[in-house]
Each structure stands twice: as structure tokens, then as C-alpha cells.
Amino acid sequence: MRSKQIFFILLLSCCCHWLAAQDSWVRQAQSKMQDGKWSAAKELLTRAIQKDSTHVETKLTLSQWFFATANPSAQIDSAYRSIRLAQSAFSRSTPKQRERLAKDKIDYALLLKLRTKVDSAAFERAKKINTEESYQFFISNYSQASQKMDAIELRDEVSYLDALKKNTWQAFADYFQRYPSSSRAEEAQKKYHTLLFQEKTRDRKLESYQSFAREFPSSPYLKEANRQIFEISTADGSIESFNNYFQQGGDSENKKMARNIALHLLISQEQPIPRWFLNDSVQQVLDANRGFWIPFLQNNRYGFLDSLGKEIVAPQFTFIDEDVRCTSIHEDVFVTSAGLLNRTGRLISSFHPFTKDIGSGFWLVGDSLCRKVIHKSGQVMIADCLQEARVTGSFLTIKAKGAWAIYTLTGRQLVPPSFDSVEYMEGVYELTRLEKKTLVTVTELASIANGQPLKQERVFDEVKMLSKDRLLVRMGALEGILDSELQFVVPLARQSMTLANYGVVRKVNEKYSISGVASNLDNQLWDKITQYQKWLVLQAPGQLKVYDLNTKSIRSTSADSIWFKGGLLFLRERDSVRVFSSASQSLALPLDHRIHFIPSKDSVSYFFTEGKGKKTVYDLAHGKKLFVLDFSKIESVGKNLFLINRKTKTGLANLEGKVILPVEYDAVV
């Protein structure tokens, strides 16, 4: 028993000595710190921790050592870890240990005060660095700091600023996915959608918009993508393009507009309405436009009856267009005091002092200063302040601010107001600016909607339409001919071009060529080109050719001389004369035969030859021999009949030369 008491006393003595040593090291370390001996203080604290890693005062002093600004080895994060360990040790201490700590003025409030200072210093450090990483480090490692929510807000803000600097849809997508609760998340999501749409459709091509619509069906820009698909797909303004868009699908809003525009194009071009195209609204329009309306006046108000006398629109208008006031109304849209009224009884536009039907289902409405284009369906197509508008070929040509622009039929601008005039010539548009004329095709204009630039390669001083598919162009002293695809049929050169009724005559260095007549004549050079009715005589050294414009046949000849009479071609060849009714039909006559054209009350259709006592009658159109007959005078009368005279008597003969009325009358009337 006594031995146990001795052991306990010795153990207690050792513990007291050990505690005294621990406190001594801490006191010495604190003294060293006050003297600025930081390394020595750290060694003492390290020895103390090795003795007891849970000693509250040791951890507190170590935290103070790391937190001291004068310490070259100061480290906020280590100060934080040490004070957290001190707090943890304090929370596990016994009441007796806390009494002892209280004697040294160490309590929970002191520990909390130091930790709060460390938290503040760490937060200030994060703010000074001011990066997403610095704030995230603070949030993760100082999770109990009072500045945590401020750090979260600052982290979200600096991260958003980083995304703004990158300004890519990927950056904003990453932002709102990582910080969905941020006050900037909604704004980041909007920017993500905007930049994504811009990136995916940067080339402004149809394929890109179609791809976007397929890949991002929930995007807020889906409606815009669908609008672009509709406008680009139908940019050429053809009925076929609207029909194709409608049948290939699309959103309901644009399909409705496609149907409305195509319907009025079909009506204006008097084309049949396809059965698949019909629905209730289209059928209603077609039914309403059948028959006619009759205006009536009651109590100084105009109303309308249908063709059966049934009241369709009650009297309510103070005036109607003078053109329909006293007649039956067949127009599908007309002017009233309330605005433009269609035959379904619906107002498609409010009243405007200026109204003009510009064709193909479009109206220009407004006043003397500002006008807009609307469609008969009621859709406003171009709301800008316009001066003038018209349907030109496949497009709307618009005058605004004194210059002309080109829009699609769906209201999409292709060419801004920049030209003095816009003219249409069979599939080709002539854009004039400063007296220079740029030529573009329908396809080239439509391709602008698909991201292509306006082609301005074909610029000329003068353009004239020669025929349906031929344009004469001049650039300085150079002239040439283009077809409707704007390909050169006759290249630009120093030449003179004139339009004849059979084609274009080109003169270069006193030589002539023709185009637009026959491919085998193009680019051949002639000294002289002469026309007589249906005949072209082409002369060059050593060759003479005759071309029949009606039969489009050509004949080479070596005649001594050539002349025309009564639509016939005469070639003198040695001892005979060859008479041509066409290049492929002729007859040979002796030189001493004389030719006489048989008179007629209408056009001359026959001739006869006289020689060696014979008179032979021929058909002028084909040179066909009809008959040989003796007469002193002959005249074509009626149908297939000839009035013949012998001396003083008269009779009738038919096409076969058979006398059907004897030549024994004084006159035949």
C-alpha cells in the first residue's frame, strides 16, 4: 500500500514538473516573440507541441506567432489552423483546466476574437488578390467566417467578369452551371443563349439556322431561327419556294404567312389553287371573292349586299372608294372610311389618307410623308417610313430617304436604300447609282438572304433590252450582249451593236455579224447584210448566202445577180432565173420568161410566168405550179378562184385551172 502511495506521489510530481515545463516553454516563447526572436520562439513552441499537442495555450501562442505581421514567416492559413485547434482543445478541456486557463486570461471569447481577426485578414487577402480562386479558397477553408456570404457574392461577381472578358457561350454556360444560385445566373444564361445563337449562325446561312433549330429546340432563339429559315427559303419570291417551305414543315406562324403570300401570288398570276393548299381560312377567302358585292347607302352610312341581295356588312362607313361606289364590287380589298376592307368583311388596316394596291397581294398605306407595306392578309411587311414601294418581279422595291432598296416578299431587306433606281428586265435587275448600272439575277439577289454579298461585278454605262433574253450593254467605248443569265453572248469589244427585227447586227472594222438568228450564223463576218421581208442576204468575198427567216433555212449561191419582188427571191444563174419562195423551195425559169404577180383585193398570193406563148400560174407561198391557161388578164377573187379575161369576155377558173364559168360574160360581179 505504501509503495502505491509513493508511486502516485512521484507520478504527480512528474506531471506537475511536465506542466510547469510546458508553461515555461510557452512563456519563454511569448517573451521571445516580444523581443522579435521569431525563430527561437518557434523552436520553443515546437518543443511544447511535441510534449502536448492538445495544449490550448500552446496552440493559441502558435496561432499568434503565425499571425504576427512582424514575423517574416507569418502565415495566415497556419494561424487559422492553429487557432481552430486551440478552440477545439478548449472545447474538450475540463472545468479545472479552464480555471487554470482563466488565470492566464484565456477563455473562449479570447480565442474567438483571434479567429475573427484571422478570418478578416484572410478575407482581405482574398479581396486583394480578387480572383475566383482566391475567394473560393477562402470559402472552402474559412467556412465559419462571417465574411463567407460576402466572399460568395464577390466570387460570383469576379467569375462573371471573367466570363464577360472571354465573352463566349462556353464561358457563360460554365458559369451558370457552377453557380446556379448566383444573382448573375439568369443574366449569364441569357448571354449564353445569345452568344450560342450568334456563334452557331455566324455565317447567316440557311443550313446553319436549320442545324441550330434541330440541335437547340428549347432555345429562346428558336423563333428567330425559324424566322430566318422561312425568309431565306422563300427569298426568291417564287410560288414554288413558298409551296416547298409549306410542305417541308416549319413552325405554324411562318407556315401561315407562307400560305397567305403564296395564295395571293397564285391569284394574281391566275394560277389554280392546289387542293392540298386549301384549308378553312383559304376556302373562306376564295368563297368570299366569288360573285360580287353591291354597296348601299342608309342613313348616310354605306353597307354591302352580296350578289343575292343579302346584307353582308351593315351600314357603318361614312364613305367608300369612289371606284366602287356606284357599281358592283369584284375587288377583294377596297378602301372605306374605317380602312381597308376585304371581302370576308374584315378590316386588314386602319384608315390611311394614302392607299395604293401595288400588286401580288401587297398594299402601300400611309400619308404624304410616311408609308408602310402591308399584305392583304393583314400582316405588316415593312413598317419603316417609306416614300414609295412596288412589286418588281420577285421582290419588293422600296424607296426610303430618297434612295431605292430591295426587300423580299416576306419583308427582309436584301439591298439597303442606296440606288437611284431599280428596274426589272425579264429575270435581270438593273441597279443604277451615279449613272452606273449594276446587273444582277434573281438568284443572286435571293442569295444575299443566305449570307452572300451583293454581286457588283457587272457594272455598265448603258443597258438596253434587245429581246426577252438579250441585253445590249455598253461600258465606255465597249459594247456587248448578255443573256438572261448575264453570260456574254457577244463579248465586250470596240464594236457597234444595232437591233434589227431579226436579231442583233454587230459591226467591227467595217465587217458585220449577226446574233439571235441562227447558231450557224453567229460570229461569221460579212461585208454586207441586206433584209427584204423574210429574206436575209449575206455577202462576203467569194460567198453569197440567203437566209429565210420564216423557215430558218439557209442557201449558198453563186448567182450573177440577186433581187426581190413580191416576197420572192430571184437569183440569176447563167441562162436562167431561179425563183425562191423559201430557201428550200424554188423553180427555174428561162431568162426570157416574164413574171407577173396576180392582183388580189387582199394580199398577193399567186404569180404567173409568161414565155413561149404559155402562161403558167404558181402558188406564191410555196412556188408550187398550179396550172397552165390561156388568158389576157387574171385576178384572184374569193377563195381559190380566179377571174380570167380573154379579150372582152370574162369567166372563172379554180385552183386546178378548170374553167368553171365559161369566158363569155361581159362581167362577173
pLDDT digits (tens, 9 = 90+) for 80-135: 999 999 898 898 888 888 888 888 788 889 999 999 999 999 999 999 999 999 99
Beta strands in 551-623 (DSSP E): 553-557, 561-565, 568-573, 576-582, 585-590, 594-598, 606-611, 614-619
Exposure b/e, 268-280, CB count within 10 A at least 16 = b:
eeeeeeeeebeee
Judged against a pLDDT cut of 60, whether residue 231 lies above it is answered with yes
Least confident residue range of 207-221, 468-482, 570-584:
570-584
Burial of 127 (0-12, 13-18, 19+ CB in 10 A): middle
| pLDDT above 90 as % of the chain | 50
Q: What confidence tier does 8 reach under pLDDT thresholds 50, 70, 90?
A: very low
The amino acid at 30: Q
Q: Is the pTM of this model over 0.85?
A: no
What cell was used for 396?
419588293
The rounded distance, in Å, linking the Cα atoms of 351 and 46 is 95
**pLDDT value for 592:** 75
Confidence label for 360 from pLDDT (cuts 50, 70 and 90): very high
Domains and CATH numbers, the chain: 2-129 (1.25.40.10), 526-591 (2.40.10.480), 593-669 (2.40.10)
531-571 pLDDT, tens digit per residue, is 888 888 888 887 888 888 887 777 777 777 788 877 778 87
User: What is the predicted pLDDT for the residue at 395?
Assistant: 97
Q: What is the pLDDT of residue 285?
A: 86
421 to each of 266, 385, 469, how far by Cα in Å? 28, 18, 21
Which of 15-24, 49-58, 542-551, 596-605 shows the lowest per-residue confidence on average (mean pLDDT)? 15-24
pLDDT at residue 7 is higher than 60:
no
Average pLDDT over residues 241-270: 89
Residue 604 or residue 212, greater confidence: 212
Q: Return the biggest CA–CA distance within the chain.
A: 191
Residues in the chain: 669
Q: Give pLDDT tens digits for 291-332.
A: 899 999 999 999 999 988 999 999 999 999 988 888 889 999
Band of residue 282 on the pLDDT scale cut at 50, 70, 90? confident
- The pLDDT value recorded for residue 485 is 92
Pick 155 or 323 by higher pLDDT: 155
Q: Give the mean model confidence (pLDDT) for residues 457-484.
A: 90
Q: Which pLDDT value is given to residue 21?
A: 56
The predicted pLDDT at position 106 comes to: 87
Per-residue pLDDT at 636 exceeds 70: yes
Look over the chain and give the mean of its residue pLDDT values, rounded to a whole number. Answer: 88
